[in-house]
Structure 1
């Protein structure tokens, strides 16, 4: 079998997606997600100009060799654009291999390690009352793990809280917007939210919370300690991870589990965090971390240090990545939880898929390959529209981490 074409499908069914379709001389094709939120066209250009021409004529079964070729052969390694492009190729090749061997991808990764993949939903509100109601609604839908975010008193907008009645979607059409942030007000408000949630909803539901890189290490340590009575499943991205030693300070002051890594694009971004046991969950996603080949190696390394996975799964990742994440989560031993932001009905129509949700768990299905496809005719009706993630400034106007 040889690769005969590799082409991109760029569409925007409620949000932007870049999909790589690799076709072979035996009529088998595979799909890979190449979406990088707010920088989609940069990855598309990298693929079309530099990667796709190098794939033609290659044996698609040589997944490891092609991965190394794209990683080492470029000389300029890593970075979100490069690793997203590599991931798109890698996932498409696993999809092809599964179809060629007539088996789901999870069987190629070692087979099932569990019956289903526990996922967590997102719940949010303008205030604590709304967030409590939102968490309750997600529980009624069957979720047993829920991430909770709430508006902050005195702040007009807060991360994770939608502006209107639609589901929360961070990417906004047009140029980046700006919002205000106060760590001091947030640190006073967040513990009150989780105290209420436990009082009203009990101890059985797994509660998660995303800090979104907005604190200093000592502030994050203070928050983690304050949240200990609520017994969180995790506190996510408490600080920016460029300074990995910052997590050491947090770890020394709280037993609240720590998750990070959704912005990581290489195992090396997490190397010290894992080997020093400064985190409990690795959030790196398949699409930005170099694909299934790279994530499998990262998970195996993490397992040595009792670190589990919790892959990013927001709506900026297409159903192709969700399918890949479910095959991955089903197969590895040290799986923790999978994020699940539900795609819109239009996105699901453009990307018909086999995966399903039931009673807190998702299942990739048993169709050969990934079990996801793309309706190119429907996708063509929704062309790319410029969209960006917002920015954040402190009350005095200082630009801070969003």
Structure 2
């Protein structure tokens, strides 16, 4: 069995799909993408496939991972690790189809039957975000996540109060039976984060996500000293070597790697195992498409320390859903009662509707996140 070719499809809203072909007719799918850097990531995938993987046996996944990572002098970072991540997903998809088993079976079998998922909620005012929270709960979600507003580098007490009012409105509307994560999104400096964490804690958030940027993760211990709320970080960390200092220092409670950014299924499994040894939990990050989510769910079934799965696909309404139209079966993720189940068909467990993919790939995809500014004209974190 050998890899004979591939195709890449840039599709709305901001995704890149990889189809990896073999001489047996078995094809694997992956999602290698850095949002806002589609062309750059695409070029990295093409370099790896053209210069190394074509002609190789797709079943030797670990050998290929090591070659893709270690075979080059420069390594790591979002672009290269996302390129490897999508290729790795496609290799696991091929292997599962070859052995007629879902990926989680090849990873050792189930550690659970289902996993919680959360719905992101937004709104400009406390009332609007409370309405969004109520709607999400009505749609079956038991876990929600909201983001804090933009913060200046050192902001006023009013900014902290505004963030607290948003969370308080949600908590009042949905009650204590719903978990609510709070995403700082790296918008809060390490000088402001301890105060904000302390003020929000009485409202019992599930966790604080990215209380500071990943490059300032050495300040997590200072933030933890001001709160009992678990701290989560990791969506902008790309390998086991990136997260090793956090695991070693016990500085984080929840790691959030993405199989599309952190080297694929192979690498994220190793990150999760290292975290488990330090009693650190895992919540796989996935603000991406259905192929990436399928990879996440295969991992979730096999990772004992996984607690909740991110998604942004509006899974509560699979019908007439443009985001799920890339799949033959948009109900394949089995959303019910706030939980997801992993597809149990071979490989990643999904069937991609190639006709939709090819049609949508005719679009000109150049998604870029907006550039935000502070009131003094300096660049703000998005």
CA distance in 2, matches of 1:18, 1:250: 36
1:173 is matched with: none
Q: 1:371 aligns with which of 349, 362, 377?
A: 349
Q: 1:347 aligns with which of 323, 345, 348?
A: 323
Q: Secondary structure at the match of 2:18?
A: strand
Q: 1:311 aligns with which of 274, 284, 290?
A: 284
Q: Aligned runs of 1:278-289 on 2, under 5 Å?
A: 278-289=251-262
Deviations 1:87-120 (A, max 9, x none): 1111101101111111111111121111201101
CA distance in 2, matches of 1:186, 1:373: 46
- Residues 307 and 334 of structure 1 are in contact (CA less than 8 Å); yes or no, is this contact kept in structure 2? yes
Deviations 1:337-376 (A, max 9, x none): 1112125822311233522211110012211111223333
Q: 2:98 aligns with which of 85, 97, 100?
A: 100
- Residues 5 and 54 of structure 2 are in contact (CA less than 8 Å); yes or no, is this contact kept in structure 1? yes
Provide the TM-score with structure 1 as the length reference.
0.88
Q: 2:125 aligns with which of 115, 124, 127?
A: 127
Q: 1:376 to 1:200 in 2, by over 3 A?
A: closer
Greater shift in the superposed pair: 90-99 or 220-229: 220-229
Deviations 1:217-270 (A, max 9, x none): 231111111111111111111111212211121112211111111122222222
More strand by share: 1
- Residues 266 and 289 of structure 1 are in contact (CA less than 8 Å); yes or no, is this contact kept in structure 2? yes
- Residues 7 and 48 of structure 1 are in contact (CA less than 8 Å); yes or no, is this contact kept in structure 2? no
Q: 2:35 aligns with which of 37, 51, 59?
A: 37
Q: Secondary structure at the match of 1:36?
A: coil
Q: 2:209 aligns with which of 233, 236, 240?
A: 236
CA distance in 2, matches of 1:386, 1:397: 25
1:215 is matched with: 188
Provide the TM-score with structure 2 as the length reference.
0.92
Q: Secondary structure at the match of 2:305?
A: coil
Alignment RMSD, CA only? 1.9
CA distance in 1, matches of 2:51, 2:268: 25
- How much has 1:29 moved relative to structure 2? 0.9
Q: Aligned runs of 1:116-265 on 2, under 5 Å?
A: 116-149=114-147, 183-184=155-156, 185-265=158-238
- Residues 218 and 250 of structure 1 are in contact (CA less than 8 Å); yes or no, is this contact kept in structure 2? no
Deviations 1:144-189 (A, max 9, x none): 1001247x6xxxxx69xxxxxxxxxxxxxxxxxxxx9984343221
Greater shift in the superposed pair: 294-303 or 181-190: 181-190
- Residues 21 and 27 of structure 2 are in contact (CA less than 8 Å); yes or no, is this contact kept in structure 1? yes
Q: Is 1:323 matched with 2:323?
A: no
- Residues 81 and 261 of structure 2 are in contact (CA less than 8 Å); yes or no, is this contact kept in structure 1? yes
| Alignment gaps of 5+ in structure 1 | 153-157, 160-179
- Residues 11 and 17 of structure 1 are in contact (CA less than 8 Å); yes or no, is this contact kept in structure 2? yes
2:364 is matched with: 384
- How much has 1:53 moved relative to structure 2? 4.1
| Alignment gaps of 5+ in structure 2 | 315-319
Q: Secondary structure at the match of 1:5?
A: strand
- Structure number with the bigger relative contact order (C-alpha 8 A, sep ≥ 6) is 1
1:167 is matched with: none
2:3 is matched with: 3
